[in-house]
Structure 1
């Protein structure tokens, strides 16, 4: 069983057409540059975040469980003349030397690791990869807000240009206590409006409450430094914030380590 509950291989070649978010890139870029050392990106996929970080000079190791997503990323790197270490691996079973100053798990992908046992395995694996004092930034949806969309209603994600015409992406979700089951549909239409092909991507992810994630992180050996509610570093507000952006730190300190200060709004725990 892979770390996540979603097989992205069948949609690797069209993933970039419908996943175009960039609002988190400046936040992660600032964090990666402040780390001043090797950075580990988990669930790197096709490089939505990886490429801006590498282009900015970050020494990046990219991990994903999907071989085809990493093939797309590798092709982009070669086309741009960029370099990064790519690892096809399950986060829960990740074995890398403790050499990273920062680990990133963006785009709420930790939620795709369902079940507390595997979530704890993932946190422990990331902890092992970090230097003492290293940080782990893990983003989650705010379950109180995200759960409102889990109502069985078919919703349009968007219509996107495709070489054959246009790609229409939609989906609906059920469950949510705490696991959400989503069916995502991909329909490609030609210029004449005819349906060329259709794909279905079953997805599962878990809505993780704040208290439970904090407890798992502490048990794994992390100190909770901050919980932001958005990428502007605003404090997490359970009633309003769309995200929980966790800034965790591996306990201990590395002699001679220096990290440039980044303004944080909330000091959760010393």
Structure 2
């Protein structure tokens, strides 16, 4: 959760409560109050104004505050004026704490050795190569994984460094680069908390990897690290799912991710997945199944829990703004098409320092 603003400031982006009342009668009982703020969205209008009616309707409330961290009202709740005589903003210094977690949404260490077999697309390579060529160096790919994109850029003579929390994924990256005769500068670090003592002309998070940072507070930490490491005239590009397009296949049905042959052992690998979308939180949970076999004989099986956040692009932009990054360009596909909220398969945003 972000820093709690000092008492007496404008709280039009924080928790809402009627004067002398601790909870709206019409509020969904499981959501007694919200203790998360998104200034770029909610500062635009005053509480109770015609543009921002009181948050007593669940649909309206979710539209603006979906994915927020929740807390419970308590006797320690404090209030601050908001400029409207009928309303006050409230927050609880004890309850409003970071919900960030060190738990991995997907433990890629378990499957790093086979990851490149079932994730082998090149649909985005030309896009990232163009972005890198148009940007000054140095360049950093955060959440780079096994280097599918960065190695392709290195092959084109484009210098780029990589950072990832999975040591096993970086080991694969390093091995692949060495086999290709390439030198790779890699950092084993958490994207939410690292220090490279360098300012980058380009930082990017590709392949919708930000979805694996499930908690919004953790996303904010990532974006603040981006801001700290971005050069004054540098740019930050991020790729994310566009929820209307990505919802397909998130209803619990079995998704076949293909049969693959392990070059080193000759074993067969069959990868499948099942995913469930919670429509209220937009958090997807499920698992991926990795079955290794030799002919008809099953040799071993890995069941990998999966969790990611299908965040709305508007909320993503709000978090970027809170971190001090302003979106200057939006694309909806890797062919450079302009982003359309209803039809684009992806959301690609270019940011600069605010």
Q: TM-score, normalising length from structure 1?
A: 0.88
Q: Which runs of 5+ in 2 are unaligned?
A: 1-100
Q: Aligned partners of 1:3 and 1:209: how far apart in 2?
A: 22
Matched residue SS, 1:33: helix
Matched residue SS, 1:119: helix
Higher RCO, 1 vs 2 (CA within 8 Å, ≥6 residues apart): 1
**Pair 1:174 & 2:262 matched:** no
**Pair 1:127 & 2:231 matched:** no
Q: Aligned partners of 2:102 and 2:347: how far apart in 1?
A: 24
Q: Aligned partners of 2:179 and 2:273: how far apart in 1?
A: 33
Alignment partner, residue 326 of structure 2: 223
2:156 pairs with one of 49, 52, 56: 56
Alignment partner, residue 109 of structure 2: 9
2:129 pairs with one of 22, 29, 35: 29
**Greater Cα radius of gyration, structure 1 or 2:** 2
Deviation at 1:98, TM superposition (A): 4.2
1:114 pairs with one of 197, 214, 230: 214
Kindly provide the CA deviation profile for residues 195-239 of structure 1, in whole angstroms up to 9, marking residues without a partner as x: 121111111100111211111111111121111110011011122
Q: Aligned partners of 1:15 and 1:39: how far apart in 2?
A: 24
Give me the CA root mean square deviation.
1.4
Q: TM-score, normalising length from structure 2?
A: 0.68
Alignment partner, residue 344 of structure 2: 241
Question: 8 Å contact 2:244–2:343 — kept in the other structure?
Answer: no
Q: How many residues align?
A: 250
1:214 pairs with one of 317, 328, 331: 317
Q: Aligned partners of 2:242 and 2:275: how far apart in 1?
A: 16
Q: Aligned partners of 2:171 and 2:197: how far apart in 1?
A: 24
Deviation at 1:152, TM superposition (A): 0.8
**Pair 1:72 & 2:172 matched:** yes
Alignment partner, residue 184 of structure 1: 288
Q: Aligned partners of 1:152 and 1:220: how far apart in 2?
A: 35
| CA 1:229–1:178: 2 relative to 1, 3 Å | same
Alignment partner, residue 196 of structure 1: 299
Q: Which runs of 5+ in 1 are unaligned?
A: 252-270
Question: 8 Å contact 2:268–2:293 — kept in the other structure?
Answer: yes
Q: Aligned partners of 1:98 and 1:143: how far apart in 2?
A: 34
Matches within 5 A, 1:137-152: 137-152=237-252
Deviation at 1:96, TM superposition (A): 2.1
